[in-house]
Structure 1
Amino acid sequence: MGRILAGLVLLALAAGGIWWALVPDSAAPRQRPPTAVNVAPSIERDLFDQVEAVGTARAAQAVVLLAEVPGRVSKIHFQQGQQVKRGQLLVQLDDRNARAELARAEAEYQRAQDDFRRGQQLVDRRAISQSEVDTFRTSLEAARANRDAAQANLNDHRIQAPFAGVVGLRQVDPGAYLQTGDAITTLDNLGHIEVDFQIPERYLGRLTVGLRVHASNEAFPNLNFDGAISHLDSRVNASSRSLTARARLNNPGNRVRPGQFMRITVQLAQRTALLVPEQAIITQGAQSYVFTVDANSQAIRHPVTLGGRRDGWVEIRDGLVGNPEIIVNGHTRLGSGQAVNIIDNPDALLPEQRVLIAPPTQDVAGDAAA
Structure 2
Amino acid sequence: MTVPAYPLPPAARPCARRARALPSSMLALALVLGLGSAALAADGDRPVEVATAEAGSLGRAVEVVGTLRSNESVVIRPEVAGRVTRILFDEGRPVQAGKALVELDSSTNEAELALARAELKLAEADAERARTLFDQKAGTARARDEAVARLASARASLALAEAQFAKTRIIAPFAGIIGLRQVSVGDVVQPGQAIVNLESIDPLKLDFAVPDLLLPRLRPGQRVTVTVDALPGRSFEGEVYAINPLIDERGRSIALRALVPNADGALMPGLFARVGLGLGSGSAGVVVPEQAVVTRNGRFFVFRVAAGTAEQVPVTLGERSDGRVEITAGIAPGETIVVAGQQRLSAKTKVEIVGPDGVPVGTRPNG
Q: What is the TM-score normalised by the length of structure 1? A: 0.62
Largest Rg, 1 or 2: 2
Alignment-derived partner of residue 148 in structure 1: 159
Matched AA of 1:85: Q
Alignment-derived partner of residue 24 in structure 2: none
1:118 to partner: Cα distance:
1.4
- The match for 2:204 among 193, 211, 220 is 193
Residue pair 1:59, 1:190 contacting (<8 A) in 2 also: yes
1:131 to partner: Cα distance:
2.3
Matched, 1:251 2:262: yes
1:54 to partner: Cα distance:
1.6
Alignment-derived partner of residue 166 in structure 1: 177
1:129 to partner: Cα distance:
2.0
- The match for 1:322 among 336, 339, 343 is 339
Taking the aligned partners of 2:87 and 2:169, their CA distance within structure 1 comes to 10
User: Counterparts in 2 of 1:169-318, with a 5 A limit?
Assistant: 169-269=180-280, 272=287, 274=289
User: Counterparts in 2 of 1:13-162, with a 5 A limit?
Assistant: 47-162=58-173
1:113 to partner: Cα distance:
1.4
Taking the aligned partners of 1:179 and 1:308, their CA distance within structure 2 comes to 61
Between the two proteins, the alignment pairs up a number of residues equal to 248
Residue pair 2:58, 2:325 contacting (<8 A) in 1 also: no
Give a deviation string over 1:40-63, Cα, whole Å, max 9, x none. xxxx99753122222211111110
**Identity rate, percent:** 35
- The 1:308–1:135 alpha-carbon spacing in structure 2 relative to 1, beyond 3 Å, is farther
- The 1:80–1:137 alpha-carbon spacing in structure 2 relative to 1, beyond 3 Å, is same
1:72 to partner: Cα distance:
0.9
- The 1:275–1:88 alpha-carbon spacing in structure 2 relative to 1, beyond 3 Å, is farther
Residue pair 1:66, 1:185 contacting (<8 A) in 2 also: yes
Residue pair 2:287, 2:325 contacting (<8 A) in 1 also: no
- The 1:314–1:182 alpha-carbon spacing in structure 2 relative to 1, beyond 3 Å, is farther
Give a deviation string over 1:76-97, Cα, whole Å, max 9, x none. 1111111000101111111111
Secondary structure in structure 2 of the residue aligned to 1:81: coil
Secondary structure in structure 2 of the residue aligned to 1:110: helix
Q: For the aligned residues, what is the CA RMSD? A: 2.7
Give a deviation string over 1:111-163, Cα, whole Å, max 9, x none. 11111111111111122222222212221121111111111111111111011
Matched AA of 1:222: G
Q: What is the TM-score normalised by the length of structure 2? A: 0.62
Matched AA of 1:180: P
1:206 to partner: Cα distance:
1.1
Alignment-derived partner of residue 13 in structure 1: none
Taking the aligned partners of 1:48 and 1:96, their CA distance within structure 2 comes to 66
Q: Which runs of 5+ in 2 are unaligned?
A: 1-52, 292-318, 327-337, 342-367
Taking the aligned partners of 2:242 and 2:151, their CA distance within structure 1 comes to 49
Give a deviation string over 1:224-261, Cα, whole Å, max 9, x none. 22221111111222222221111111112122222111
Taking the aligned partners of 2:320 and 2:157, their CA distance within structure 1 comes to 68
Matched AA of 2:204: I
Taking the aligned partners of 2:172 and 2:279, their CA distance within structure 1 comes to 39
Taking the aligned partners of 1:177 and 1:57, their CA distance within structure 2 comes to 35
Taking the aligned partners of 1:114 and 1:220, their CA distance within structure 2 comes to 70
Residue pair 1:47, 1:273 contacting (<8 A) in 2 also: no
Taking the aligned partners of 1:161 and 1:191, their CA distance within structure 2 comes to 16
Taking the aligned partners of 1:142 and 1:264, their CA distance within structure 2 comes to 59
Give a deviation string over 1:162-215, Cα, whole Å, max 9, x none. 110000001111111111111110001111111221121111111111111221
Secondary structure in structure 1 of the residue aligned to 2:173: coil
1:315 to partner: Cα distance:
6.3
